[in-house]
Amino acid sequence: MKELMLKKIKSLDLKIAVIGLGYVGLPLAVEKAKAGFRTIGFDILQDRVDMVNQGINYIGDVVEEDLKQLVENKMLTATNDFTCIKDVDFVAICVPTPLNSHQEPDISYVVNSAKSIAKYLRPETIVVLESTTYPGTTEEVLKPILEEGSDLICGTDFYLGFSPERVDPGNLIYKTKNTPKVVGAVGEDAAEVIATVYKTVLESDVHIVSSPAVGEMEKVLENIYRNVNIAVVNELAMLCEKMNIDIWEVIDAAKTKPYGFQAFYPGPGVGGHCIPLDPYYLSWKAKEYNFHTTLIEASMTINHKMPEYCVERMSKILNKFKKPLADSKILLLGVAYKGDISDYRESPALKVIEELEKHGSIVNYFDPYVESINLNSVEHKSVQELSVELLQCQDLVVITTAHSNIDYNFVQENSKFIFDTKNAMKHVLNRKNVERM
């Protein structure tokens, strides 16, 4: 089987399916199609399917002209019909892996995808999970579903592996095409074949590890590393505020050391599809081994309380003007989880809004990238523009996302007071009415 698959890859005869056309799946499908592989994208959302088939892009990291050309040349199509699996040689699963209401892993999208794939899985097919998950998912969950549902044997009739997505929305340097890839598979032959596919598609190194579990653990390590270090600076920021020390100046000084230090920055919390979720995936799995991830859980606690801490700081600021949180007009600048993107998944700004509304504040937001948000089944819309009148009538302006296309000098000149949680106003000369995290 290995030689046949390698021959198909070399001749670009491999037909590919990408399950899930979101922030991970669509860029991956586009790159596979650009490499010369006929690619089918699958998504349960009809509007995504329709947009792809019309060549309309909805993901920031995809170039719309590339998408249009691939669709016109019939190199990329989209569908919500799982029977397409019977006609492909390679299946990449790129579905969400959120947390449930109890902060436990919800891999139902992976499970449901696997069950659907199994119905149409044929011999000499490669299945790769790209969704972030806990160590053991590929072999303990995916493999039995695929084998039982297809009557095929993993390693003999089909190949199975894990290759974690590495997507950083808005990154101007590293995209899907040039970000190094990790591959772990069930068996050496599977690892070689899967790695060859990615080497053909990408302009980056492909690192093979000994098993899917190593790849799964590697992925959560990447984001737990960031979560823990962000928690350290968040805790120091809270201490520095009490000690009247500028945490931003401290970090700038520390990062002059050319070795042994990497700069991380405080903020109103952590957001996105990985950093707030991955620690929960690992801590949940660790309990199966009667092991408690003490440091990781402590970092989760610190980062989780940052929105509440920010609201406490806002309350102190308003108290200086003899204003309570209740009925105060507060404008948030930015609800995306990071600067210059439209993604607001798990954004700490949402938790800040919730906390302020609990205290009776009148909250609005401005975000040039996010027209509206759905918060607890209630739609909130961004104000249309940052006018002088809007800023002057606010009791407090809070910077929760550091977008680069906002005129912070204009904000400073026309606001009563500003609480900057992201150090976005570091280049503003007059900061008399600004308090930083």
Residues marked active site are found at: 274
Helix, strand, coil percentages in the chain from 3-state DSSP, rounded to 5: 40, 15, 45
Compute the C-alpha angle 399/405/407, nearest 5°: 65
Q: DSSP letters of 256-283?
A: TSSSS-------S---SSSTTTHHHHHH
Compute the C-alpha angle 136/129/201, nearest 5°: 140
Nearest CA to 111 among 129, 135, 125, 126?
129
Q: DSSP letters of 113-164?
A: HHHHHHHH--SSEEEEE-S---TTIIIIIIHHHHHHHHT--BTTTEEEEE--
* Three-state SS at 388: helix
Cα–Cα distance for residue pair 324/316, rounded to 1 Å: 9
Cα–Cα distance for residue pair 373/142, rounded to 1 Å: 34
Residues in the chain: 437
Contacts of residue 169, defined as CB under 8 A and 6 or more positions apart, other chains included, come to 23, 60, 61, 272, 338, 341, 343
Taking residue 174's Cβ as centre, other Cβ atoms within 10 Å add up to 14
Cα–Cα distance for residue pair 184/139, rounded to 1 Å: 11
Cα–Cα distance for residue pair 318/37, rounded to 1 Å: 59
Cα–Cα distance for residue pair 18/98, rounded to 1 Å: 19
Nearest CA to 34 among 192, 177, 228, 187?
177
